[in-house]
Amino acid sequence: MSQKWDERYKGTEFAYGTAPNAFFKEWLPKFKPGAILMPADGEGRNGVFAAQLNWKVTSFDLSTEGQMKALQLASENNVNLHYVVGNLEALEFEKESFDAIGLIYAHFSAETKSALHKKLNEYLKPGGLIIFEAFSKNHIAFKKENPKVGGPDSIADLFSTAEIASDFSNYEIVLLEEEEIRLNEGKFHVGTGAVIRFVGKKMNS
């Protein structure tokens, strides 16, 4: 899997652009900066945006090529990222050490996604926030019509609002909805797609 992402990120062009995801850009400034974990941060567009807002950013991804591009982007914007290469199954972070987690198109396999969400939950402080956007199960029809819009090929790897509510059942739901949106993120997210958007606050128990 890392080879796929290394191939995607190794060129000089940023695969998904350098601007942050629109939903992440809308919601992150609403909250007081702290420590944020950015899984599947790729070439760093969202981690760099968070750092520009004075968040202390820890990013990770499978791709060393993505890491190099992210650190380049951070340097160009005069901010710092702590960027780790690896997959979530192998990585360990200190429990309850983050104030927020940004899950922006962090698609895990159908067999692991719920377990990995629960693992991420352990790293978030009580009262901490998750900002999530990823493709919904209904997106599969949009991808068949327009492969340039991106996203997994298997409907099982996509999300439903019910799955997110279940995976993050110990959260106060600030927002949970499915939307059809127009994507224009680099050359791999272009066109109309269906997404799940979730903002949640971790409850104390």
Distances in whole angstroms, Cα of residue 115 to Cα of each of 17, 68, 83, 158:
30, 29, 23, 15
Rounded to an integer, the average pLDDT of 172-178 is: 98
Q: How many distinct structural domains can be found in the chain?
A: 1
Per the confidence metrics, is the pTM higher than 0.95? yes
Confidence of residue 204 (pLDDT cuts 50, 70, 90): confident
- Read off the pLDDT of residues 80-132 as tens digits, 9 standing for 90 and up: 999 999 999 999 999 999 999 999 999 999 999 999 999 999 999 999 999 99
In this prediction, residue 205 carries a pLDDT of: 57
Instruction: Enumerate the β-bridge partners of residue 121.
Output: none
Q: Which two tokens stand for residue 198?
A: 């979730």
In the chain, % of residues over pLDDT 90? 97
* Phi and psi torsions of 129, nearest 5°: -115, 145
The CATH number given to whatever domain includes residue 31 is: 3.40.50.150
C-beta of residue 61 within 8 angstroms of C-beta of residue 4: no
Tell me the residue range of the domain where 159 lies: 2-202
Cβ within 8 Å of residue 33, ≥6 positions away = 53, 54, 55, 56
